[in-house]
């Protein structure tokens, strides 16, 4: 019995190690290959032959200007998160705690638009952005995405659990309902707001469909779109492309390691990527 149990444990561990290695392999391959020369691709070249050469291009070539793409991505992501941090909780609070005529309709609007894949509206959004002259601009990349119905729904779920007495107590202290929201309820929602921001961050940072549709000027690329152009332009130069992958993925990985716990909790509670 004991040996059988042991055997089961060992085989489980072995399976885990095999699967884990398969998953880690592309990751390790990427890092390693980004430091070799083209002759040494897919060979074990020894540590003395490793080079930083592949990374240099991205800081010297204006057409593949990773620092610029990083700035663009940071601005886009920051604006989207900022909008979502203001607009979503306001609407969510109104839906959870205020009693106004038409509330039911607003709630159905939230539910209805939550389910629709973005593809459904992409063509008209593209046309409207173009007609406003917003192609290749931050306005086009951010204004349509300053809110998310899904996050409004998530935050509403939280606000419903906030006891009405909190608001009543705040009103007895002389605050209005509006004041009670900003001063009392909003700070209470901190952990929900962090979860939302993390999901919005990952979703925006990694998005390709929208930025690749609305931006064609390499100066205005975000990291993901830039990476794709690097891959296409230097297709035979695997080490260079791998250096591009490392540079463009590093920020989101660092972010992930910082917020790992909240991010995973957010995923398992909401079941969305953003």
Partner 1 sequence: MTTNSNKQSRLRSIADSDMAVGWLFTLPFLVLWAWWFFYPFIQSFIRSFQDANFAALDEAKFIGLQNYITILHDPQFYRAVLHSLQIVVIAVPIQTVLGLLVAMLVNQKIKGKGIFRTIFFIPYITSQIAVTTVFMMLFKQGTFVTEFFTLFGFADTTWFADTRYALLFVSLLFIFQQIGFSMIVYLSALQEVPKDLYEAGQMDGASKWAQFRFITIPYVKPITFFVVSVATILGFQIYDQIAAISRYGALGSPAGATSTVVTYFYQNGIRYMNIGYGSAAVVLFFFIIMIITFLQKKLLDEKG
Residues 251-270 binding partner 1 (CB under 8 A) are 252-253, 256, 260, 263-264, 267-268
Give the chain's length: 274
Binder to partner 1 among 2, 3, 48, 119 (CB under 8 A)?
Answer: 119
Q: By the 8 A CB rule, do 241 and 231 touch?
A: yes
Residues 127 to 186 in contact with partner 1, rule: CB under 8 A: 127-128, 130, 143-147, 149, 152, 171, 176-179, 181
Nearer to partner 1, 63 or 123 (CB): 123
Task: Tell me if 108 contacts partner 1 by CB under 8 A.
Answer: no
Q: Long-range contacts of range 244-251, CB-CB < 8 Å, 24 or more positions apart? A: 244/58, 244/64, 244/66, 245/30, 245/34, 246/30, 246/31, 246/34, 246/55, 247/55, 247/58, 247/66, 248/66, 248/69, 248/223, 248/224, 251/70, 251/73, 251/205, 251/223
Task: Tell me if 16 contacts partner 1 by CB under 8 A.
Answer: yes
The residue to which tokens 């705690």 are assigned: 97
Binder to partner 1 among 169, 209, 254, 258 (CB under 8 A)?
Answer: 209
Taking the C-alpha atoms of residue 123 and residue 143, their distance in angstroms, rounded to an integer, is 16
Task: Tell me if 99 contacts partner 1 by CB under 8 A.
Answer: yes
Nearer to partner 1, 75 or 272 (CB): 272
Query: What is the nearest approach in angstroms of partner 1 to the Cβ of residue 266?
Result: 10
Number of residues that bind partner 1 (CB under 8 A): 91
Task: Tell me if 106 contacts partner 1 by CB under 8 A.
Answer: yes
Residues 37 to 56 in contact with partner 1, rule: CB under 8 A: 42
Nearer to partner 1, 78 or 132 (CB): 132
């Amino acid at each position: 019995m004991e040996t059988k149990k042991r055997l089961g444990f060992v085989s489980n561990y072995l399976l885990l190690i095999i699967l884990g290695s398969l998953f880690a392999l592309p990751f390790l391959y990427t890092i390693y290959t980004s430091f070799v020369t083209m002759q040494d691709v897919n060979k074990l070249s020894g540590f003395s032959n490793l080079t930083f050469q592949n990374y240099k291009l991205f800081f010297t070539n204006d057409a593949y200007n990773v620092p610029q793409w990083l700035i663009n991505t940071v601005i886009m992501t920051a604006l989207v998160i900022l909008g979502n941090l203001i607009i979503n909780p306001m609407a969510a609070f109104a839906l959870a705690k205020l009693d106004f005529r038409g509330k039911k309709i607003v709630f159905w609007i939230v539910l209805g638009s939550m389910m629709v894949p973005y593809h459904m509206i992409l063509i008209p959004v593209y046309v409207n952005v173009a007609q406003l002259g917003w192609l290749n601009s931050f306005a086009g990349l951010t204004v349509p995405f300053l809110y998310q119905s899904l996050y409004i729904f998530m935050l509403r779920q939280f606000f419903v659990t906030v006891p009405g007495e909190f608001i009543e107590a705040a009103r007895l202290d002389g605050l209005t309902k509006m004041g009670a929201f900003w001063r009392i309820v909003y700070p209470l929602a901190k952990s929900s707001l962090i979860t939302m921001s993390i999901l919005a961050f990952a979703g925006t940072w990694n998005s390709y469909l929208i930025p690749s549709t609305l931006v064609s000027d390499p100066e205005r690329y975000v990291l993901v779109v830039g990476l794709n152009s690097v891959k296409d332009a230097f297709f035979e130069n695997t080490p260079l492309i791998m250096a591009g992958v490392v540079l463009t993925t590093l920020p989101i990985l660092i972010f992930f390691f910082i917020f790992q716990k909240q991010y995973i909790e957010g995923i398992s509670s909401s079941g969305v990527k953003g």
